[in-house]
Amino acid sequence: MATDTKRATIYLDPMLHKALRVKSAETSRSMSELVNEAVRIALAEDEADLSAFEERAHEPLISFEKVLKDLKRHGRI
């Protein structure tokens, strides 16, 4: 483990903890490595979502009701 890591206490659902322990043993990776990787992936997905929102910020808004009416008019629902 890198020397510049921070210690944190987290509480896991018992089944998630068990699955994490098993995966750790099967992959010869520490639970910390697995959790760090999962958090990195989740944050990268969030960053991608935020970038997409920013790119589309100036597009016109369409109400949900209008979308439903349009789908119905075109026989999609």
> For residues 45 and 51, what is the distance between their CA atoms, to the nearest angstrom?
10
Report the pLDDT value the prediction gives residue 53, as an integer from 0 to 100. Answer: 86
CB burial readout 31-43, b (16+ within 10 A) else e: eeebeeeeeeeee
Provide the percentage of residues in the chain whose pLDDT is more than 90. Answer: 82
pTM: 0.64
pLDDT of 15 over the 90 cut: yes
